[in-house]
């Protein structure tokens, strides 16, 4: 069978090698949801532009979840004023968003995730940072009410001044979609819940302990070719990442997933550390490489923060420092890789920019800036404003 690369095919029809029709979606703390259009040439140069804008996700949209198979986008409002919204949008072929159903919430939702049911989209779980809660609802959003509200408490304060109460930051599904993992920045634990996929009910399975003062924020999973399962957390307060052994029960209907911490490594090169205002933010895994963003470290100059890069041992899942890469943004709260693993979209919260950065799939290293675009107004250093999220709409 003859294989023709995309570059050769495009050249044959008289076009420059490009990624055509690629869209991204970004949200901003002023309320706008933006569809971005990206064209690139050999992943070395390109153009990023705003093709459309939508509203309807409250005053401070903070988290986006895209379901490409159904072309549905869910936006979670981080409003701190006592109320907020979960909003569903239909995503057109051109990336344009059309508002659909909407649900008013109590606000302060820093993360949301669909789960359960025959297609994994019958319920939605949110985590509320300051109220110290995890809330579940049944879909559709219109007319839905709270199914369950979990209130988390601390037995004692943590060593960091921000650990005065429980601060759940995410409700992440494990690969089997039978468990929720909830990193709790205030409690220095990952809370584990078993999911009843028929009813959407959650059963607490206990916690996995991080080190005191770590402040786990987000979690991702990885699996070796031989079936070794690992999880990795980014620790906002400790400016570190942790590796966790994952154990599944013999009977998932009655047992619980368990985590055991194996490693904790800084988000800075050996011998270096972050400053008083630095905060690790997001974590991603691509093949056998792990990435975490550092906010306000300015490793690469004025308002040029870093992305920490690690290798993952293909057999054991152990992580090792590889390098720090330029994020080409200030305060990178959010980043995500395209499906091909050749480009990273990095969202600088304070710079309010989306930077498209080249990635070498063989080495895992991030490279040069392909293109960048400022969206709406810039944020203020250390404040909750500016760009909140960016995702690929592939």
DSSP 314: T
Q: How far apart are CA 241 and CA 212, in angstroms?
A: 14
DSSP 326: E
CA distances from 200 to 67, 195, 285, 356 (A): 19, 6, 28, 37
Point out which residues pair with 61 in neighbouring strands. Answer: 77
Residues 24 and 142 in one domain: yes
CATH value at residue 114? 2.130.10.10
Q: How far apart are CA 272 and CA 262, in angstroms?
A: 22
Residues 166 and 109 in one domain: no
Which residues fall within 8 angstroms of residue 118, CB to CB, at 6 or more apart? none
Structural tokens at position 387: 């760009």
- Measured from the Cβ of residue 322, the count of other Cβ atoms closer than 10 Å reads 18
- Could you read off the pLDDT of 149-202 as tens digits, one per residue? 999 999 999 999 999 999 999 999 999 999 999 999 999 999 999 999 999 999
Say if 48 falls within a structural domain.
yes
pLDDT higher than threshold 50 for residue 384: yes
Please give the tally of structural domains in the chain: 3
Structural tokens at position 318: 């152990």
Cis omega before residue 272 (within 30°)? no
For tokens 């089997």, the residue is: 176
Residues 191 and 88 in one domain: no
With the CA atoms of 78, 80, 84 and 87 taken in that order, what torsion angle do they form, in degrees rounded to the nearest 10? -10
Q: How far apart are CA 141 and CA 107, in angstroms?
A: 15
Of 119, 151, 183, at which residue does a domain stop?
Answer: 151
With the CA atoms of 43, 48, 51 and 56 taken in that order, what torsion angle do they form, in degrees rounded to the nearest 10? 100
Say if 386 falls within a structural domain.
no
- Could you read off the pLDDT of 335-383 as tens digits, one per residue? 999 999 999 999 999 999 999 999 999 999 999 999 999 999 999 998 9
pLDDT higher than threshold 90 for residue 253: no
CA distances from 198 to 30, 138, 378 (A): 37, 11, 44
SS3 367: strand
Q: How far apart are CA 212 and CA 182, in angstroms?
A: 17
Say if 328 falls within a structural domain.
yes
- Could you read off the pLDDT of 204-224 as tens digits, one per residue? 999 999 999 999 999 999 999
DSSP state string for 164-227: SS--B---EEPTTSSEEEEEETTTTEEEEEEE-TTT--EEEEEEEE--TT--EEEEEEEE-TT-
Cα angle at 78 between 344 and 376, to 5 degrees? Answer: 55
pLDDT higher than threshold 70 for residue 99: yes
Residues 235 and 259 in one domain: yes
Residues 170 and 241 in one domain: yes
Point out which residues pair with 55 in neighbouring strands. Answer: none
Taken as a whole, the chain contains a residue count of 394
Res 10: pLDDT: 41
Whether the Cβ atoms of residue 279 and residue 306 lie closer than 8 Å to each other: no
Q: How far apart are CA 206 and CA 191, in angstroms?
A: 6
- Average pLDDT, stretch 324-330? 98
SS3 296: coil
Q: Look up the domain containing 143 and give its range.
A: 1-151
Say if 321 falls within a structural domain.
yes
- The pTM assigned to this predicted structure is 0.94
Of 135, 151, 167, at which residue does a domain stop?
Answer: 151
Whether the Cβ atoms of residue 375 and residue 390 lie closer than 8 Å to each other: no
For tokens 């909140």, the residue is: 388
Q: How many helices (H) and strands (E) does the chain have?
A: 1, 28
pLDDT higher than threshold 50 for residue 8: no
Nearest Cα to Cα of residue 214 among 245, 243, 193, 194: 243
Residues 212 and 73 in one domain: no
Say if 145 falls within a structural domain.
yes
Point out which residues pair with 391 in neighbouring strands. Answer: 25
Percent of the chain with pLDDT over 70: 95
pLDDT band at 12; cut points 50, 70, 90: very low
Q: How far apart are CA 93 and CA 110, in angstroms?
A: 28
Say if 389 falls within a structural domain.
no
Whether the Cβ atoms of residue 209 and residue 261 lie closer than 8 Å to each other: yes
């Amino acid at each position: 069978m003859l294989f023709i690369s995309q570059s050769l095919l495009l050249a044959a029809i008289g076009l420059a090698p490009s990624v055509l029709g690629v869209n991204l979606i970004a949200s901003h703390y002023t309320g706008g949801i933006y569809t971005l259009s990206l064209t690139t040439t050999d992943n070395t140069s390109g153009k990023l532009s705003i093709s459309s804008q939508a509203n309807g996700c409250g005053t401070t949209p903070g988290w986006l979840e895209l379901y490409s198979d159904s072309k549905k986008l869910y936006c979670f409002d981080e409003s701190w004023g006592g109320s907020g919204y979960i909003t569903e949008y239909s995503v057109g072929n051109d990336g344009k968003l059309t508002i659909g159903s909407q649900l008013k919430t109590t606000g302060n939702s820093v993360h949301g995730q669909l789960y359960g049911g025959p297609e994994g989209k019958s319920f939605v779980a949110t985590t509320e940072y300051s109220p110290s809660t995890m809330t579940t609802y049944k879909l559709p959003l219109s007319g839905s009410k709270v199914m369950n509200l979990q209130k988390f408490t601390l037995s004692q304060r943590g060593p960091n001044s921000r650990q005065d109460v429980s601060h759940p930051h995410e409700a992440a599904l494990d690969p089997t979609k039978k468990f929720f993992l909830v990193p709790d920045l205030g409690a220095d634990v990952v809370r584990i819940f078993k999911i009843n996929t028929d009813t959407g009910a959650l059963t607490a399975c206990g916690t996995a302990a991080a080190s005191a003062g770590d402040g786990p924020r987000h979690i991702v999973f990885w699996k070796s070719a031989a079936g070794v399962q690992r999880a990795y957390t980014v620790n906002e307060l400790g400016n570190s990442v942790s590796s966790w052994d994952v154990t599944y029960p013999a009977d998932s209907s009655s047992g619980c997933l368990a985590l055991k911490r194996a490693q904790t490594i800084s988000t800075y090169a050996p011998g270096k550390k972050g400053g008083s205002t630095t905060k690790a933010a997001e974590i991603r895994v691509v093949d056998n490489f792990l990435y975490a963003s550092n906010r306000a470290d300015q490793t690469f100059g004025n308002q040029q923060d870093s992305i920490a890069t690690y290798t993952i041992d293909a057999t054991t899942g152990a992580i090792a420092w590889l390098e720090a890469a330029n994020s080409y943004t200030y305060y990178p709260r959010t980043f995500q890789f395209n499906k091909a693993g050749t480009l990273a979209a990095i969202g600088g919260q304070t710079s309010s920019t989306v930077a498209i950065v080249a990635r070498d799939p063989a080495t895992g290293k991030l490279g040069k800036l392909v293109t960048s675009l400022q969206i709406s107004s810039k944020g203020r250093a250390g404040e909750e404003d500016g760009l909140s999220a960016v995702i690929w709409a592939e």
